[in-house]
Amino acid sequence: MNGITQSTALWYTSRATGVVSLLLLTAVVLLGVLVNRQGRLPGLPRFVVTGLHRNLSLLGLAFVAIHVITAILDPYVTIRIVAIVIPFASAYKAFWLGLGAISLDVVLALILTSLARARMSRRLWRSLHWLSYVAWVSALVHSLGSSNDLHSGVLLYMAIACTLAVIAAVAWRITHAGREIPREERAAATLAMMSPARAAQTRGTPRDDARPRVPGSSASGNRAPENVR
Ligand code: HEM
Cβ of 68 closer than 6 Å to ligand 1, yes or no, is yes
pLDDT in tens, 146-163: 989 999 999 999 999 999
**What is the value of pTM for the model shown?**
0.80
Cβ of 21 closer than 6 Å to ligand 1, yes or no, is yes
Report whether 29 contacts 136 (CB < 8 A). Answer: yes
Confidence of residue 7 (pLDDT cuts 50, 70, 90): confident
Structure-model confidence comparison of residues 40 and 7, the more confident one = 7
Separation of 134 CA from ligand 1 center, angstroms? 16
